[in-house]
Each structure stands twice: as C-alpha cells, then as structure tokens.
Chain A
Amino acid sequence: MNDYTKYLASRVTAGGLSRREFMGRAMAAGITLAVADKLFTESAEAAEPKRGGHLKLGLEGGAATDSKDPAKFLSQFMFCVGRCWGDMLVESDPLTGAAVPALAESWEPSKDAVTWTFKIRKGVKFHDGKELTIDDVVATLKRHTDKKSESGALGVLGSIKEIKADGGNLVLTLSEGNADMPLLLSDYHLVIQPNGGVDDPLASIGTGPYKLTSFEAGVRATFEKNKDDWRSDRGYVDSIEVIGMNDATARIAALSSGQVHYINRVDPKTVNLLKRAPNVEILSTAGRGHYVFIMHCDKAPFDNNDLRLALKYAMDRETMVQKILGGYGKVGNDFPINSTYALFPEGIEQRVYDPDKAAFHYKKSGHSGSVLLRTSEVAFPGGVDAAVLYQESCKKAGIEIEVKREPGDGYWTNVWNVQPFSTSYWGGRPTQDQMYSTAYLSTADWNDTKFKRPDFDKLLLAARSELDEAKRKDMYRAMAMMVRDEGGVILPMFNDFVNASTKQVKGYVHDIGNDMSNGYVATRVWLDA
C-alpha cells in the first residue's frame, strides 16, 4: 500500500470519504478493483468511529501571552484550540488541498474571478443558541479586513475591496481576480463569530464541535462536546483537554507514560528513540513547510547567477533529509512548491548534488575567496548542523563556506531578510499563488531573496485570475522554472510534520494543509478503549 492509498484509507476511517469516492481515487492511483474493495471494507470496519472518552493533547507553542481573539491566533496551541470551537466558511481537503464547503455551502466566481458569491449554510447554531446569520459572516470578515485590524489574516485578505450581504449570500468584490479566493477563507484566523466578534472578541463562541469550558493562556484549555453541532462526521470524543508543553522532553515523557494521547513537534533527533516505546505511534505527514538557504539576488557576490547555480549544485539534498530531518522529509528542488499543492507542476527535473557542475559554475562566476553564511538554531531545528553539513559538501566542489552562528534572539530582525546569505524556513501557504506572492513577488515585504523580475510578477498576476486549470498549471510551471534556475533560494528539503500519539488514538487524518491534521486533530480522532 503506498502513501496515497494509506491517506485514502485513513479518510475512509475518518468517515470523510464515501465508498464511491474511495474506489474512484484508489483505482485512479493504480489499484485493482478487488484490492480497492477489500481495502475499503477493512478500513471502514477496522475503524468504525467510536464516540466518547476524554482526549488529552500535549502541545508545544502555547504561551502566557496567547490571546483568545481569533484575529490574534499565532501559536500552534491556539491554532489547535481555535479549530475545536470555531468554523471557517471554507475548509481544505486533507488529501488534495482543494477548497471544500464548511459554513459556506457553495460558491460561484464571476468570469474574471473578481466577484465571488458564497451561499451561507442555514440552520447552524452558535454555542450560545443564536442562529448563524449572514450578518455574522459579514461582520467577521469586516473585522479582519479593517485597515486598523491587528488580524493575522489581514495580509491574506488584502485584495478584498467590498464585503456585502445579498439575500442569504455573501458577496466579495476583489481589487483583482483571484481564483483561490475560497481557499483563502480557510485561514485559521477567520473563525466566524457572533456579530464578527466585535462585541467580545475573547468570548470563544463559535459553531464548532466543542465548547470551550476553561482557558488559561499557555497552560490549559478544556472543551466539552457541542450537542448541537451541525456536522456528524467530527467531534467523536466527549471532552478535550489541551495542555501547553513547551519542553520537548516533557512532551515525550507525558506521551510515553500515557498521560496524554497526542503530542506535536517531535524532534527528528529523538523520533527513533520514541518509536521504541510500545504504546506509541509516530504520525508523520508530508507538508509544505520548507527549510531554505537564502541568497540576496541583488547583493554581491550573489548577484551573479553562476555563483547562485554553483551554490545550488553544491547542496547535497539527500544527506540533508537524512541527517537533519532524520528521514522525515522530502528533498526540495529549489522552488517553494511540492506535490502537496494543487496544480503542482510535475515533471521538473530533480536537481541533485553535483560537485563538478558546481565547480564549473563557480569558476565561471569568477568569484574567489570564501562565502559567508549566517545561521542560527532558530532558523530551523538543526539549522547550524545543516550549515556545517553544507560547508562540507561545498568543500568537495572547491567552494569555501564560512559559517557564522548568530544569536537566536533577534535573528528575524537582524539577519533574516537583512544579510545577503542566511538560513531560514517557510511554513508554506495554502496556495501556490500565496507562497509566491509572499516571498517572490518583486514588491513583497518578505521577498527574502530579493528576487525581482517583472516577467515573473506579470505571470503571477495572470495566473491568479486564471480560472482555466490547465492554463494555470502551465503558468505555475514557468514560474517554478524561473525561481529554480535563476532565483536566490536554495531549497534542500520540505520537512514533514512529525507528531506522535498513543495507540488508542484512531482515525488520524494526515492532512497536507498544515500541522496537527491542519489543526483539526482533536475534532477528527476518536479513542479506542
């Protein structure tokens, strides 16, 4: 059984995939009818969801400074807490990343993808008994798009020009066409709250499967089941307890002693030790997050494409994945997109470690002397080790790298986006458009490689409003090639999300959208006695 069919099986297990859908997709993936049939029956039976029980999660990322206001959700802890009590208008499919209905039942774009009409679901109740109305939806989006807003989604929604109610429908008018609009609404900040949360942003009243019963920032959050949930295919356990555990060893100890059912952020260095614990299961999900070595295309000596190519060929990606990620990741190809994105440009040749080619381009660049690389542990876990490893692989190509270890405090203000060559990470974005717009568009604030190409920008904007998928895919392919061959990013690897649970936890959905089953872990799993 390959990874994809495993995903499919787990979706069946979670009740998110009908027999018909499963058979279709499994057979498309090259599985015979008989095998697919057997697989479906097995996964459906082996894991008939059980209801009840008290689920405990031990999560990294909580802090005393966490705010209950969805607009200010920032940490992994709040990401998960918010998904328990709130719903967005749209969700993303765990397998394909495509937009699927949530509080919005369906949607329709105008031909130029500038105007979007969303049909809002009827008969949904908030936790306080009040019915969800179009006004609540409009107020929520207005709060997050207000220019004075401190919402984390402000950047994502920047192109929304007008928000209005039209009968029971939500109508969004954008300043430019955007084919990805529905997906943008799946952002975890955009929890629909009564009257948009304007009256009381901290009330934690939503339409989600659980009601918040207690909350202490950075310490603990508890939930009880929302008996009036509008969906039946989620919220299997009776109650949830989320405990903030920022110490990696504490999380591992709590999981292996059975005090919690699930932990996030398992360190690749210790994952093999944790594997030995008898009651523990490692849950590794391919994701969009990636680790990068960034060169500023506009600063010497990195303004020379031959030097950039030399440095790209001198990267031993396989070794990086093995040594830094402990094998829990996939090699990158020097552009920030992988197969977890819809419309991934397939068939681009994988760049491999080639000291000879690196030496060739290095010579051609005319550069001599060492190259200074700045790094830090906060750039990504194992950042310093990765830099030293890279130094070694460069040596074989005759390129001398000087590694400078910078203090973690202030790394993001003083080094990243400031110094010409440094290490960093990206968490990935829901769409290719967003990833490129955030970090590769000439005018982007976070264009950390200073990649400035008008033809690239033009292509990006054209692809944004293109509703024809085939055409759009071609555009994304051209963009990927530009970044790969001329950009300033060396992208050795995409890191998997590595989490772990006890064996009682069933129905875990490997969601490519984001970590912890896209934050939905607590609402999707159930406990087997």
Chain B
Amino acid sequence: MTNPAPSNILPGLRLRQRFPLLALILERFVLSIILLFAVSILIFGGLEALPGDFATTYLGQSATPQAVANIRQDLGLNRPVTTRYVEWLGNAVQGDFGTSWASKNSVSEQIGKRLGNSLFLAGFAAVISVPLAVGLGMLSVHFRNRLPDKIINVISLAAISLPEFFIGYLLILVFAVKLGMATFPATVYDSMGFVERLKAIALPTATLVLVVLAHMMRMTRAAILSVMSSAYMETAELKGLGAFRSIVKHAAPNALAPIINVVALNLAYLVVGVVVVEVVFVYPGMGQYMVDAVTVRDMPVVQACGLIFAAVYIFLNMIADILAIVANPRLRHPR
C-alpha cells in the first residue's frame, strides 16, 4: 500500500518526525476507518439494488398483497434510502445493529453469539495452522529439493487443490461415518462444555487447517528462499553458521513481512470465508447466519454481517501492515 501525500500541517509533521512509527500507525488507523465508512455505503447501496425486497421474499408463495403491505409499513421501507442509511450508520457506530426483520431478535446479540462461534473455530484453526505452516516452510527450505521438501510440497499442493467442501466430506466419511471416531454434526450450542465443544469442532478445524496450510507454507518457503539468495546469507554460510541456524536467525526475520501478510490474509479468510465449511459441518457461525439472512433479504442482519466482515478484513490487514513496518525498519521512512 502506498502512503498518501504527507500532510503539511505543522503539528502532524512534528509528530511524524518525532514518532515515525506512531504516526504511521495512526495514519493506518484513520485510513481504515475511512475505508470502513466507504464499505458501509457500498453494502447499503448494494443491498438496495438487489432484486426483490424482504416482504415478498420472506413470505414467498404464501404472501398476500395485504401481508406484504403490512410488513413494508411496519419496517418503514417506504422511507427514502438516505434517511434509512444515516439512521442505520448512526446506530451501528454505537454498536446497535437493530433487530432482525425476520425473527425480531436483536442483531447485535445474535451476532455476538455467532461471531464468538466463528472466532472460536477460526482461532483454533489458526493456533494449529500458523506455527505448523511456518515450521513446515522452514523445514522444506532446509531440505530444499530433497525428499522431505518434495513430500511437504506434494501434500500441501494436493490439499490446496481440493475444494474445502470435498475435504470436509472426505473427513466426515472417514472419521464420522466409517470409523465413528469424530463428532458430527459440529453443532455447538450455549450449554455445551468446553471439552465437548473442542470435540465437536475437530473435523471442521482439520478441514480449515488443510485448506489454509499450503498457502502459508509455500509463501514462507518462497520468502525465505528469496532471502537465502542474498549476499548476507552467503556471508553467514561462509562464516560457518549451521544451515538450520542461519535460516532461523538470519533468513526468517528478514522474510517476515511477506509471511505476516499471507498469515493475515489467511486469518481473515478463516473468519469471513468459511461459509462452505460451516454449512457442510452444520456449524452455527457468521457465514451461515449471513447466508440465511441474504436468502430472505433480512437487511439489518446482512448489513451487520457485511460490516463486521469488512471490519475483520481491514483490521487484520492493518495489523499486518503495522507488523511488517515493525519488522522492517526501512518501511518507516517512505522515500
């Protein structure tokens, strides 16, 4: 991402000179907020443009003109778009996403639960996949073009080539249907104990790990390899540093920026892109929630989900940017 033109306002400039890192972080933060605002307009406008409105879609074939009119009146759908947008944004900023048109429940409350579920699954998958991916990446660099490297590559390529629903079904078939070892469906609910919960999400977690592992692993490998060809790595080798030690101590830190980027991307995917996995494993996360809402045009829910997904994405990217700057001091002073 390129930096916007530096501002000429004096205090800002002074801040920038004295605390370059803090200034950059602040700048990124403000940029993120602006971006989020733009996304909110896109979400609202996009949903307005969808064919069919809530009243007709929700009632489907059983709709009578009377019922349709009642619902429209009830929800204030007759008011202009801009009024509704400003009202919605005003409430959303305060954390109030309104009530679902279909179920009349508080959206914030429902999302709290669903988002918690999604983060739980994503977090668990991340805890396993990130160290595993980075470790395997280093390992494959260490053994580059030899058997372990090839095995790691073939397996990860195979995993990334299969669509996630297929991996999911395979795991279900083997571990739930044939062996009867794993819990299926992975439905979690309020009164469930922690251990039970872990058992329930074993299969979806495994699926997610397999799906994101290859991407991160191969990026790690490529980033370290590109650093390995630089002059200082040659020096490290010449001064007699062990191969693995030189990878961990010298190559890996310098390859951090691209690795952090790909990790952030995959984390974002774990939260916002797992709709298919959630459907296959009957897991009540955000993805399912949003799909349900889109089908009946339950706007408050769709808008809230869209905004939260965007926020997660923007936030993780922001963190990745900041971390990359921290990891590479050269980025702090844009030329």
Binding site for B on A (CB under 8 A): 58, 63-69, 72, 74, 147-152, 154-155, 158, 202, 214, 216-220, 243-247, 249-250, 253-254, 256-259, 409-410, 412-414, 427, 445-446
Interface of A is mostly: loop
A154-B64 in contact given A65-B298, A245-B185, A257-B176 (Cβ < 8 Å): yes
A246-B70 in contact given A65-B292, A253-B173 (Cβ < 8 Å): no
Q: How near does chain A come to B270, taking the closest CB pair, in angstroms?
A: 20
Q: In whole angstroms, what is the CA distance A246 to B288 when docked? A: 10
A65-B67 in contact given A247-B280, A253-B184, A259-B185 (Cβ < 8 Å): no
Q: In whole angstroms, what is the CA distance A214 to B293 when docked? A: 21
In the complex, what residues of B have CB within 8 A of residue A66's CB? 102-103
Known: A66-B102, A155-B62, A220-B189. 18 other contacts (CB 8 A): A64-B110, A65-B58, A65-B293, A65-B295, A69-B104, A74-B59, A149-B67, A150-B71, A150-B74, A154-B66, A243-B187, A246-B279, A247-B279, A253-B177, A254-B282, A410-B52, A412-B52, A413-B57
Q: How near does chain B come to A161, taking the closest CB pair, in angstroms?
A: 16
In the complex, what residues of B have CB within 8 A of residue A151's CB? 67
Provide 12 A-B residue pairs closer than 8 Å at the C-beta atoms, listed in order of the A residue.
A65-B58, A65-B101, A68-B103, A149-B70, A218-B284, A220-B189, A220-B284, A243-B282, A253-B172, A254-B282, A257-B177, A412-B52
Contact A253 B189 (CB under 8 A): no
In the complex, what residues of B have CB within 8 A of residue A243's CB? 185, 187, 282
A413-B185 in contact given A64-B289, A218-B284 (Cβ < 8 Å): no
Q: In whole angstroms, what is the CA distance A65 to B101 when docked? A: 8
Contact B177 A217 (CB under 8 A): no
Q: How near does chain B come to A326, taking the closest CB pair, in angstroms?
A: 21
In the complex, what residues of B have CB within 8 A of residue A58's CB? 185, 282
Q: In whole angstroms, what is the CA distance A245 to B64 when docked? A: 29
Q: In whole angstroms, what is the CA distance A69 to B104 when docked? A: 10
Q: In whole angstroms, what is the CA distance A151 to B295 when docked? A: 20
In the complex, what residues of A have CB within 8 A of residue B180's CB? 257-258
Contact B65 A445 (CB under 8 A): yes
User: Smallest CB-CB separation from A147: which chain B residue?
Assistant: B66
Contact B66 A65 (CB under 8 A): no
Q: How near does chain B come to A144, taking the closest CB pair, in angstroms?
A: 11
Contact B187 A220 (CB under 8 A): yes
A253-B176 in contact given A220-B189, A247-B282, A412-B60 (Cβ < 8 Å): yes
Contact A250 B280 (CB under 8 A): yes
Q: Pick the contact of B103 from A217, A257, A258, A427 — CB < 8 Å?
A: A217
In the complex, what residues of A have CB within 8 A of residue B288's CB? 64, 218, 246
Q: How near does chain A come to B61, taking the closest CB pair, in angstroms?
A: 7
Interface status of B296 (Cβ within 8 A of chain A): yes
Contact A202 B104 (CB under 8 A): yes
Nearest 6 pairs of A and B residues by beta carbon? A65-B102, A63-B292, A64-B292, A410-B51, A219-B284, A413-B52
Binding site for A on B (CB under 8 A): 51-52, 56-62, 64-67, 70-71, 74, 100-105, 110, 113-114, 169, 172-173, 176-177, 180, 183-185, 187, 189-191, 279-282, 284, 288-289, 292-293, 295-296, 298, 301
In the complex, what residues of B have CB within 8 A of residue A64's CB? 100, 103, 110, 114, 284, 288-289, 292-293, 301
Q: In whole angstroms, what is the CA distance A68 to B104 when docked? A: 9
In the complex, what residues of A have CB within 8 A of residue B185's CB? 58, 243, 245, 250, 254, 259
Q: How near does chain B come to A77, taking the closest CB pair, in angstroms?
A: 11
Q: How near does chain B come to A412, taking the closest CB pair, in angstroms?
A: 7
User: Smallest CB-CB separation from A258: which chain B residue?
Assistant: B180
User: Smallest CB-CB separation from A254: which chain B residue?
Assistant: B185
Contact B70 A150 (CB under 8 A): yes
A445-B64 in contact given A150-B70, A413-B51 (Cβ < 8 Å): yes
Q: How near does chain A come to B177, taking the closest CB pair, in angstroms?
A: 4
User: Smallest CB-CB separation from A256: which chain B residue?
Assistant: B177
User: Smallest CB-CB separation from B103: which chain A residue?
Assistant: A67
Contact B51 A414 (CB under 8 A): yes
Q: In whole angstroms, what is the CA distance A59 to B237 when docked? A: 62
Q: How near does chain B come to A312, taking the closest CB pair, in angstroms?
A: 24
Q: In whole angstroms, what is the CA distance A246 to B100 when docked? A: 20
Q: In whole angstroms, what is the CA distance A243 to B70 when docked? A: 32
Q: In whole angstroms, what is the CA distance A122 to B70 when docked? A: 36
In the complex, what residues of A have CB within 8 A of residue B56's CB? 412-413
User: Smallest CB-CB separation from A220: which chain B residue?
Assistant: B189
Q: In whole angstroms, what is the CA distance A167 to B200 when docked? A: 55
Q: How near does chain B come to A432, taking the closest CB pair, in angstroms?
A: 18
Contact A218 B292 (CB under 8 A): yes
Q: In whole angstroms, what is the CA distance A64 to B284 when docked? A: 9
In the complex, what residues of B have CB within 8 A of residue A245's CB? 185, 282
In the complex, what residues of A have CB within 8 A of residue B70's CB? 148-150
Q: In whole angstroms, what is the CA distance A409 to B36 when docked? A: 28
Contact A250 B295 (CB under 8 A): no
A74-B60 in contact given A218-B292, A253-B172 (Cβ < 8 Å): yes
In the complex, what residues of A have CB within 8 A of residue B57's CB? 412-413
Q: In whole angstroms, what is the CA distance A192 to B189 when docked? A: 29
In the complex, what residues of A have CB within 8 A of residue B289's CB? 64, 218
Contact B282 A250 (CB under 8 A): yes
Q: How near does chain A come to B315, taking the closest CB pair, in angstroms?
A: 24
A65-B103 in contact given A245-B185, A413-B52 (Cβ < 8 Å): yes
In the complex, what residues of A have CB within 8 A of residue B101's CB? 65
Q: How near does chain A come to B41, taking the closest CB pair, in angstroms?
A: 23
In the complex, what residues of B have CB within 8 A of residue A72's CB? 102
Q: How near does chain A come to B120, taking the closest CB pair, in angstroms?
A: 14
Q: Most A CB atoms within 10 A — which of B60, B65, B172?
A: B172
Q: How near does chain B come to A241, taking the closest CB pair, in angstroms?
A: 9
In the complex, what residues of A have CB within 8 A of residue B61's CB? 412, 427, 446
Q: Pick the contact of A259 from B51, B173, B184 — CB < 8 Å?
A: B184
In the complex, what residues of A have CB within 8 A of residue B187's CB? 219-220, 243
Q: How near does chain B come to A195, taking the closest CB pair, in angstroms?
A: 19
Contact B66 A244 (CB under 8 A): no
In the complex, what residues of A have CB within 8 A of residue B52's CB? 409-410, 412-413
Contact B191 A214 (CB under 8 A): yes
Q: In whole angstroms, what is the CA distance A155 to B62 when docked? A: 8
Q: In whole angstroms, what is the CA distance A8 to B184 when docked? A: 36
User: Smallest CB-CB separation from A410: which chain B residue?
Assistant: B51
Q: In whole angstroms, what is the CA distance A33 to B101 when docked? A: 59
